[in-house]
Structure 1
């Protein structure tokens, strides 16, 4: 666990203070000076080292304070301790914290002040020769350059980290979206399967109870009960088959997938027959030449017809219904029409119609559901293309579209 910046800056300031203090104490054995200068020198050391505690919060101000402390310390003190370390650290910090212009200006001012000071000395009494001045210039430039490089490195690492976080958030969002879409797809499948089958069972059993409630002859009552139970058995059997096929997507990889075929238009006659078992007069009409459909499109067409018939038996109070399939060269048209009372004008479309619309739109098609004179009409359009490759379905050999 990394320490807070204030703790680290305070620790660095104490370390520099120890180094400067030890150097100064050692130098005091070889150079004597008045006590007043010694006290003032130690005050300047404390000021310069103490300022480093604030080097990240006020980098330019700390650089100016340490520069002024060094400018007063070296002409005054005879020990010549390494107080210049404080200015070096402050100058580097100013550049590393993004105060590049201020760091360059302070370095230039330092070189200019040292150069002018040396020019004012008499020949032979200069403390810094030309070589040392050039080395000092290179040293200051290096501090500013390294600080700027550190700034760029930190900015680059921050940008990389932000990009990684953004990519992670995007990946998580995509995963949540995929999971949501999969849950909605499974919920829609379960709604279509269970809603259709339960509705048929409800209508069949209700009709049988209604007839038995009239207390018919024993033979007629037995026949009515037998017919109703057989219809309930067949409907529940088909519901279980479709339910197993749908839940197969949730099985673990090491489990065997269901072997029963998925629902599709090949099972449409059975669907119509089950709907007719409720007493509804259902007719199936096919126009054009059927072609093999991609499994997702085939399932969507079957579910649209299934949900439409479910709505007819559950809500329409209809006596007859028509299921029409029109095979065109580039698309399949579905038409489900009944002679019921239609949908209330003031009621929004239910989840069943919404689910059918989503199925059609998922493959580039469309669906409309509306009241018509004397009933209700559902029309759907499904392109004859593979939803993944967008390749058109082909008619069997020998057939024409």
Structure 2
């Protein structure tokens, strides 16, 4: 076996590898530089504070070093940086950007949902500051006691600290709003996808149920007539071929909606203008279908037109499957300018026993009608016949 020829992994700087592993070093390095350099310069203008020594610089570097773990252990980083900052204050070292790593840790904890830990850290450090400033004896530190009034400085420090923490809260609130908006959009997309899948399943059910019912009837007729009347059997086989071809075309058209958004369907969706095809298919299987229209036909929206077509198709399929009748009547009532009434009736009676099918045809018709804002009723009549009646709204905007 030949040795592996896989190319070596690309080289990345240590800080990039650490960031990919969940240990971001960039911000920690910047914070360390700012704290060390800024505190060194700030010490020149603060008389009476303890000078920075090895311990002071160690504390200034320890806080930023802890920031490397701020993503994985935000609560622990807040606690440790608070302890480091409190120790820095208690030692009397100069004020300045020494609090940067501590504030970053608190803001990260707020942003990740650990608000209590962040505010506890702020309260702890500020309490240490108050103890050092007002409670402990003035000479216990290496720093000289403050001269003059310290209240203005305390007010400025308190206001500045609250301002920084309020900024962290605002950032947290914005992140939560963005996350909520993203989750809402994802829910809408999932709901839209579910509706599209349901619509596609309904379309496939109507197409296949109708076509397979006709094919089943014609196949039975062909088998019965194959030996005695081969010409009629041949006619049934021709009907099977044409019906299956039409069904395949409609299935391809439905499945075309799964393609990219830039690709258009190969043909228009079926509507009432293809009602003659339904009656011809029904005639081929021995179902004599008459169509009557009351009022003047008007234009419909694509949704209502498709719904009306599928309701008639499913109703005729149910007649073929479940009724002993060999005739059916389709009525389109256009007299109401706001509603199209579709009726499909057969004289019955129903075929005893299981006629096949999933039993979801009427459910699908009701779902279609409801999706178009309409209603549908279906059931047997006192004289033994069966009627499907749908009322579909046709607003003026759709009929123009």
Tell me what 2:257 maps to.
249
CA deviation after TM superposition for structure 1 residue 178, in Å: 1.7
- The TM-score, its normalising length taken from structure 1, stands at 0.66
Query: Structure 1, residues 292-341: CA drift from partner, whole Å, max 9, x if none?
Result: 11122111100110011111112233332221111121111111122131
SS in structure 2 of the partner of residue 299 of structure 1: helix
Matched, 1:189 2:198: no
- Are 1:285 and 2:307 counterparts? no
Matching residue within 330, 354, 366 for 1:357 = 366
Count of paired positions: 333
In structure 2, relative to structure 1, the CA distance for the partners of 1:112 and 1:391 (3 Å cut) is same
Partner of 2:324: 317
Equivalent position of 1:383 in the other structure: 393
Per the alignment, residue 37 of structure 1 pairs with none
SS in 2 for 1:239: helix
Change in CA separation of 1:173 and 1:55 when aligned onto 2, cut-off 3 Å:
closer
Alpha-carbon shift at residue 168 of structure 1 (Å)? 1.8
The alpha-carbon deviation at position 156 of structure 1 amounts to 1.8
Compute the RMSD of aligned alpha carbons.
4.5
Equivalent residue in structure 1 for 2:236, among 202, 221, 228: 228
Structure 2 residue 62 is matched with structure 1 residue 57: no
Choose which of 235, 248, 252 in structure 2 pairs with 1:240.
248
1:68-217 pair list within 5 angstroms: 82=92, 97-99=118-120, 107=129, 110-113=132-135, 128=145, 130-131=147-148, 133-134=149-150, 137-212=151-226, 215-216=227-228
What do residues 211-255 of structure 1 show as CA deviations (whole Å, max 9, x unaligned)? 44xx53xxxx13212321232233233323433433343344665
**Shift in alpha-carbon separation, 1:211–1:95, aligned structure 2, 3 A:** closer
Q: What SS is found at the alignment partner of 1:290? A: coil
User: What secondary structure is seen at the aligned counterpart in 2 of 1:200?
Assistant: helix
Q: Residue 286 of structure 1 contacts residue 325 of structure 1 at CA under 8 Å; is this kept in 2?
A: yes
| Contact 2:225–2:233 (Cα < 8 Å) also in 1 | no
Ranges in structure 2 where 5+ consecutive residues have no aligned partner: 1-18, 44-54, 67-75, 108-117
Match of 2:376 among 364, 367, 370: 367
Task: Find 2:337's aligned residue among 286, 305, 329.
Answer: 329
Worse-superposed segment, 329-338 or 365-374: 365-374
CA distance in 1: counterparts of 2:179 and 2:225, whole angstroms:
67
Note the C-alpha offset of 1:149: 2.5
Q: Is the deviation greater in 191-200 or in 298-307? A: 191-200
How do 1:7-86 and structure 2 match up within 5 A? 56-57=78-79, 82=92
TM value normalised by structure 2 = 0.66
The structure that has the greater radius of gyration is 1
Q: Which runs of 5+ in 1 are unaligned?
A: 24-43, 71-81, 119-126, 395-401
Change (3 A) 1:208 1:340: farther
